[in-house]
Amino acid sequence: MYVAVKGGERAIENAHRLLAHERRGDRDVPEVTLAQISEQLALGVDRVMTEGSLYDRELAALAIKQARGDMIEAIFLVRAFRATLPRFGATEPVNTGEMQVRRRISSTFKDVPGGQILGPTFDYTHRLLDPQLAEGFVPEQPETAEASQAATPRVTDILGRDGLIEPSPQADSDAPVGDLTREPLGFPADRDLRLQNLARGDEGFLLALGYSTQRGYGRNHPFAGEIRFGEVEVELFAEDVGFAVPLGSIELTECQMVNQFKGSTTEAPCFTRGYGLAFGQSERKTMSMALVDRALRAGELGEEVGAPAQDEEFVMSHSDNVQSTGFVEHLKLPHYVDFQSELGLLRKLRQEFAEANQAVELQEAAE
């Protein structure tokens, strides 16, 4: 328990003033603009949008600037901003099958219909620091080629045609969609809530959990069936307009993990799946999310449940870095009264210990 303490107002005010000064850094160095952050630190912006759970590049860039590059602090700022605006409704579910693809790869089929499209990727780079980038580097214009008109169907749709993979769970169109920003989290949680939780969950936490499944803590034999990144159209059914209104497009990354089989005496064996979806180009995040989504389905698929990544209460209660940081960092707040009582108790225990020892020593001396 912590208690409110008065008396630090001036120190706090001056500390914030010093923070603003340090945030600006050396004033002889030009100030970084939001456009520079949004354009040149784009993947950082994507992460803040995804875990801040708010798609707005400019706000995410502002949050990164205000937080001095501390991503979790930036995510916290974006979450807090959300609370200042009314919600107009929920969009129609986006159709990732109709994505204008900028990147699309499959590790399961070399000749996937629509092709393997690398797009802008760190893959196959040598991970050597590039001194050219230090200043004034002007990259070449990108190469172009004739765009194919061929469709790029989801790999899972292709496998699904032959029944080789389980179908996605369907829902009644009238069934409510779980929303953990509106109702407190309860367990067991349905998959819609789990995916919402994972989508805004900390990338590092999900990465570690996903990795743990690969190392044997809830192994589920994954293949990256498909990863795609690009733009999807967003529509909102607006009551006043009377039809689904186009809002523009957003960038999304989707990962379809294809995992080992399920089957029974009545059902032919088929691949199972894990799913990841996130704002922007967030490949590591969606891959980790898909691994953990699949791991959390262990019970439903009749697998032995025991590993951390398979424990939904453990995963969902600790995935949110704003909650986590809130509880960890609250330890910095004054706990003076709590601590005084612990100190009092400790002194008493030490006194009892000393008295007991003294008694023993006296007894030994007497004998």
Partner 1 sequence: MNSTGSNNKQAQRKAAMTVLAHSAAVDIAGRLAAITLPSHENLREPENGLVMMRGRIGGDGAPFNLGEATVSRAAVRLATGEVGFGYTLGRDAEKAQMIALCDAMVQSAELSGEVEAKVIAPLRVAMNAERARKAAETAATRVDFYTMVRGEG
Cα separation, 271 vs 157, whole angstroms: 12
Work out how close the CB of 69 gets to partner 1 at its nearest, in angstroms, rounded to a whole number. Answer: 22
Cβ-based neighbours of 248, under 8 Å, separated by 6 or more: 233, 234
Q: What's the min distance (Å) between Cβ of 251 and partner 1? A: 11
Question: Cβ 214 to partner 1, closest distance in Å?
Answer: 21
Interatomic CA distance for residues 66 and 72, integer angstroms? 12
Burial of 256 (0-12, 13-18, 19+ CB in 10 A): buried
When the beta carbons of 122 and 243 are compared against partner 1, the nearer one is: 243
- If the CB atoms of residues 174 and 364 are measured against partner 1, the closer one turns out to be 174
**48 or 209: whose CB is closer to partner 1?**
48
Q: How far is residue 210's CA from residue 24's CA, in Å, rounded to a whole number? A: 38
Cα 145 to Cα 115: distance, rounded to the nearest angstrom: 14
2/101 with CB nearer partner 1: 101
Task: Please report how close the Cβ of residue 149 comes to partner 1 at its closest, in angstroms.
Answer: 10
Q: Which of 280, 232, 277, 225 is nearest to 256 (CA)?
A: 225
Q: Which residue, 36 or 181, has its beta carbon nearer to partner 1?
A: 181
Q: How far is the CB of 334 from partner 1 (least distance, A)?
A: 34
Question: Are residues 87 and 53 in contact, defined by beta-carbon separation less than 8 angstroms?
Answer: no
